[in-house]
Amino acid sequence: MNQATLVLIKPDGLKKSLTGNILTRLSETKLDIVGARIVKVSRDLAQKHYAMLKDKPFFEDLLKYLMGEYHKKKVMALVYYGEDAIQKVRDICGATNPEEADPVSIRGAYGRITTKGVYENVIHASANPEESEREIKLWFSPDEIIFDLYNTTAVKKSIETRVWA
């Protein structure tokens, strides 16, 4: 079954210039990239993305990590699409704890746990279809993805917006 999944190259991945290596590893899946953005992550976006972890003791550090306070203030967000996309990407990412991840996986190869206990595991990937839909809708608007993954609705907006001067 064709599925979409959200991938984030986290700030440590960008800081360590791992973008190319990670995209190359992900290309082994033969999945299609259907959306891509470089994002400066706000606290609000980080909180929404990791909302289910809000009661964890590491939550505040996790927000700072995703916002780039320990590395670079940017994340690369991608949507991959194709047969069994969610599991294929999760398999290449490896386990959450980078010290326990298969050394051949992305997290096993490039991740670390800091002395402060932050899991710097380089990449995020959606874990299941409910999560991928929620996350893709959080990180992308419909027009930023090359086809309509989900139903859309037209709304008229008359908000002030910035354009190039």
Q: Which residues are catalytic?
A: 124
State the nearest-atom distance from the C-beta of 127 to Mg ion, in Å. 5
Residue with the CB atom nearest ligand IDP in the bound state: 96
Say how far apart CA 40 and CA 49 lie, in whole Å: 14
CA 111 vs CA 4, 51, 104, 130, 132: distances in Å: 24, 23, 11, 26, 23
Residue with smaller CB distance to Mg ion, 61 or 142: 61
> Residues 36, 58, 133, 144: which binds ligand IDP (CB under 6 A)?
58
Nearest CA to 3 among 79, 91, 82? Answer: 82
- Segment near ligand IDP (CB under 6 A), from 20-28, 30-38, 119-127, 157-165? 119-127
Residue type, 72: K
- 88-127 residues near Mg ion, rule: CB under 5 A: 127
Strand-pairing partners, residue 89, are none
Please give the residue ranges that form the binding site for ligand IDP (CB under 6 A). Answer: 53, 58, 62, 96, 117, 119, 121, 124, 127
